[in-house]
Structure 1
Amino acid sequence: MQAMLYHIHPSLDVSGGGLASFLPAFTTLDRPYNSYPIIGSNAHLETIFANFFRSTPDVRCRRECLRTKDNGTIAIDWVAGDHRNLSSSSPMLILLPGLTGGSETSYIRHMLLRARNKRWRVVVFNSRGCSNSPVTTPQLYSASFLGDIVEVVAHVSSCYPDANLYAAGWSLGGNILVRYLAQESDSCLLSGAVSLCNPFNLVIANEDIRKGFNKYYDKAFATSLSTILKRHALLFEEIDGGYNIPAAANCKSVREFDEALTRFSFGFKSADDYYLKASSSDSIQHVCRPLLCIQAENDPIAPARGIPREAIKENSNCMLIVTPKGGHLGWIAGDEAPFGAPWTDRVVMDFLEYLEKTKSVSV
């Protein structure tokens, strides 16, 4: 009844236990998902085009470095001037980039700009070592580690206690965000969240990234990780505990990096053990805040077969949108294609603005 009332276009696969509650939020789900000609015809072409040719809006940011409980450092970037230009009660949005991404990444900048134009206060969470953020301990970050996001959310919330706080995460950032929502459960400081291109099941994602053309992405991610490690090599030179720093620094795949460094840093028996326990697919059932998940059916890095569809259907706080195409972090469709914002940005803001409106009404 609700789906018919709000006219979901058949090109979109929309489901979830929160479907009836959240459908009124959206203004574009009644329209067909039309990928941009030629570029959108192939998942790899779309993924690569978005990465190299999508525009990157010019936004000035003000960096704040947080010292964590373990003496590490997290860099968060606020939009410059917003502390003067926005109300203390303006809604806030934390953005979590994907693996090795940061505040300079094009999809982050587009989302930041769209939210800022709606007069939301936006802050980007750069994981340790990303976006030239300092590394002060021999530990980077991982899909399993939630300590940093706990501290970032608490800090941002304390800066503007009169504002509602939301978050959006892409790829690995989405995995971390969903796991955080589950861990915090009813105590979560976020009023809602969006997960995009989430690999969900890291065992499946690791299997697929080592096949065929996907090896290109695997090598690219490995190179980015090893570059961050080499930049801070002195910190890692004398650590004990089975680490193989030379292997991590010269890795040719993400799995090699995780086997040599990540699993030791975060206490896992092996890379496989890490992938199994760091997956967010098992976290959905514990999410107690409104959560929108957006995935692409042809995503080569976050495989559709890893989406926890049944768990999302059984949780009244969750909604899932699966587009027929989009690649990974692509979604080159809509009015701004091919060089502008991804198709998802408007959908994300529809959802977040609806949550903010309904929360304000209920208060």
Structure 2
Amino acid sequence: MSAMLETPELPAVFDGVKLAAVAAVLYVIVRCLNLKSPTAPPELIYQDSALARFLLKSCPLLTKEYIPPLIWGKSGHIQTALYGKMGRVRSPHPYGLRKYLTMSDGATATFDLFDPQSEHCIGEDVTMVICPGIANHSEKQYIRTFVDYAQKNGYRCAVLNHLGALPNIELTSPRMFTYGCTWEFGAMVNYIKKTYPQTQLVVVGFSLGGNIVCKYLGESQANQERVLCCVSVCQGYSALRAQETFMQWDQCRRFYNFLMADNMKKIILSHR
């Protein structure tokens, strides 16, 4: 009697495992890239005023649906990582004049001044006074890109370099920038007002810079003179209330907190 050998159906099992692995990988990719997240026009919160209506009329992009870059465009984490490591492709490099201001405590504040490259659309002299984000300065790529675009549209730009942030500028007093000090920004604005008595100001702050410019404008009524408007981009509202949020793992917040703290540590140690 001949015995018939039955071969186990291992290939079918392996195929099932492979399909499950592929499905799991695809699921992770879809979740990480937020590919299922629908696109929609931004939600606008504003007071019905002449200025708001003018801005909406002048910037129709604000009411249009945002179409992100294909595949990775819906993930803020991946965009942040790519931009942080690779930067922009062919990033512009506007050339400005660096100004040095001596503060009352001996600190040396610096800012870069960029002249407009064309006439403003309304023929006025308008200067953007710009405060970058935490530990940033005029040489950062996002600042350079913004300044280049503003110059081409007829704006003079003055960009504050946070005290201690530039690697080639030594500290001349025992302090560096803080999260609420407006001294250096105020000194830059006063210089612009004195040097260009006819200019009007557009105040711009990115991230931490948004906190600083809003605080500066609220400190004194005189600080608001000749200011057309203030633009706060991605501003954080309360560092104290956000401390607990920084320690959460959700949305990689704790990881970002580590990166920011590590960057601050490097800046401090560079001035030993």
Q: Assess if the C-alpha contact under 8 Å between 1:143 and 1:176 holds in 2.
A: yes
Alignment match, 2:75: 42
Cα distance in 2, alignment partners of residues 149 and 89 from structure 1: 23
Unaligned runs of 5+ in 1: 1-8, 234-363
Indicate yes or no: 2:173 matched with 1:134: no
Alignment match, 1:153: 189
Q: Assess if the C-alpha contact under 8 Å between 2:116 and 2:154 holds in 1.
A: no
3-state secondary structure, aligned to 1:161? coil
3-state secondary structure, aligned to 2:166? helix
Alignment match, 1:358: none
String of CA shifts for 1:98-131, please: whole Å, max 9, x gaps.
1111111121111101110012111110110112
Q: Assess if the C-alpha contact under 8 Å between 1:89 and 1:160 holds in 2.
A: no
Q: Assess if the C-alpha contact under 8 Å between 1:174 and 1:196 holds in 2.
A: yes
Alignment of 1:169-180 (within 5 A): 169-180=205-216
Q: Assess if the C-alpha contact under 8 Å between 1:86 and 1:121 holds in 2.
A: no
Alignment match, 2:242: 205
String of CA shifts for 1:306-348, please: whole Å, max 9, x gaps.
xxxxxxxxxxxxxxxxxxxxxxxxxxxxxxxxxxxxxxxxxxx
TM-score between the two structures when normalised by the length of structure 2: 0.74
Q: Assess if the C-alpha contact under 8 Å between 1:90 and 1:163 holds in 2.
A: yes
Cα distance in 2, alignment partners of residues 151 and 157 from structure 1: 10
Indicate yes or no: 2:57 matched with 1:29: no
Q: Assess if the C-alpha contact under 8 Å between 2:162 and 2:177 holds in 1.
A: yes
Q: Assess if the C-alpha contact under 8 Å between 1:100 and 1:221 holds in 2.
A: no
Cα distance in 2, alignment partners of residues 186 and 69 from structure 1: 20
Indicate yes or no: 2:124 matched with 1:94: no
Structure 2 letter corresponding to 1:159: T
Q: Assess if the C-alpha contact under 8 Å between 2:128 and 2:158 holds in 1.
A: yes
3-state secondary structure, aligned to 1:208? helix
- The match for 1:193 among 206, 230, 236 is 230
Question: 1:84, CA displacement in angstroms?
Answer: 10
Of stretches 116-125 and 133-142 in structure 1, the one that deviates more from structure 2 is 133-142
Cα distance in 2, alignment partners of residues 24 and 32 from structure 1: 20
Structure 1 letter corresponding to 2:259: A
Question: 1:17, CA displacement in angstroms?
Answer: 2.3
Cα distance in 1, alignment partners of residues 264 and 125 from structure 2: 36
- The match for 2:219 among 149, 161, 183 is 183
Alignment of 1:108-123 (within 5 A): 108-123=143-158
Q: Assess if the C-alpha contact under 8 Å between 2:132 and 2:208 holds in 1.
A: yes
Structure 2 letter corresponding to 1:230: L
Question: 1:160, CA displacement in angstroms?
Answer: 0.6
Alignment of 1:1-363 (within 5 A): 11-17=41-47, 21-25=51-55, 26-55=59-88, 56-79=91-114, 82=115, 90-132=125-167, 133-185=169-221, 187-189=223-225, 190-212=227-249, 213-233=252-272
Cα distance in 1, alignment partners of residues 51 and 61 from structure 2: 16
- Percent identical residues: 22
Unaligned runs of 5+ in 2: 1-38
Question: 1:85, CA displacement in angstroms?
Answer: 8.3
Question: 1:58, CA displacement in angstroms?
Answer: 1.6
Question: 1:185, CA displacement in angstroms?
Answer: 3.4
Q: Assess if the C-alpha contact under 8 Å between 1:171 and 1:197 holds in 2.
A: yes
Cα distance in 2, alignment partners of residues 96 and 114 from structure 1: 16
Q: Identify if the C-alpha distance between structure 1 residues 85 and 64 changes in structure 2 by more than 3 Å, giving closer, same or farther.
A: farther
Question: 1:209, CA displacement in angstroms?
Answer: 2.3
Cα distance in 1, alignment partners of residues 72 and 180 from structure 2: 34
String of CA shifts for 1:223-262, please: whole Å, max 9, x gaps.
22122212222xxxxxxxxxxxxxxxxxxxxxxxxxxxxx
Alignment match, 1:329: none
Cα distance in 2, alignment partners of residues 24 and 192 from structure 1: 13
Asked which structure has the greater CA Rg, the reply is 2
3-state secondary structure, aligned to 2:61? coil
